[in-house]
Amino acid sequence: MNEKIAKLLNQQINKEFYSAYLYLDISNYYDEKDLDGYAHYYMVQAQEERDHALLFMQYMQSNGLKITLEAIDRPDKTFDNLLSPLEVAAEHERYVTALINDIYHEAHQAKDYRTMKFLDWFIDEQREEEDSADAMVSRYNLFGQDPRGLYLLDQEYAARVYTAPSLTL
């Protein structure tokens, strides 16, 4: 495998673990505000990001590549209101999409079709992630200012169930 692609894949592992940390931080923020549904939603989101990191690790292992785990940065965002974590999450998902697109671009340049196929799932996943994050911002803007609306959104997010991805490498 192309050395640059292997390096980007390894870096993505760290980025996915950072995403999990960020979502744990958001979950903690909402827990402190007694919004258990939002806290649950982001706890599930953290689990999903951890699993994404493990998928990248599994892919590298199946290709005989060395994995180097780096220190995970502490989330540095501060939240001043209930909307700001949602906006941070939406911005972060766009950032992760750009990272995956960069890896895909390098794989395409190197004609690494196996990596491109592997990344296809993540490209679809990121579309869903961005759509969900944007919808949460929109729905909060529409309904979250009203206590009853916020309560109903919180109840809805409390019902989120996570199913781990099953990719065959």
The model scores a pTM over 0.85: yes
Q: What are the C-alpha distances in Å from 2 to residues 30, 65, 115, 139? A: 42, 11, 10, 43
pLDDT tens digits, 48-63: 999 999 999 999 999 9
Looking at the structure of the chain, the number of domains it has is: 1
Q: Please give the Cα distance from 128 to 57 (Å, whole number).
A: 22
Q: What is residue 168's predicted lDDT score, i.e. its pLDDT?
A: 59
pLDDT at residue 85 greater than cutoff 80: yes
pLDDT tens digits, 2-22: 999 999 999 999 999 999 999
Segment 29-51 mean pLDDT: 97
Do 127 and 8 touch, CB atoms closer than 8 A? Answer: no
Do 127 and 100 touch, CB atoms closer than 8 A? Answer: no
- Structural domain contains residue 36: yes
- Structural domain contains residue 49: yes
Domain that includes residue 39, residue range: 3-69+79-158
- Structural domain contains residue 168: no
Report the CATH number that the domain containing residue 145 is assigned in CATH: 1.20.1260.10
Segment 139-164 mean pLDDT: 94
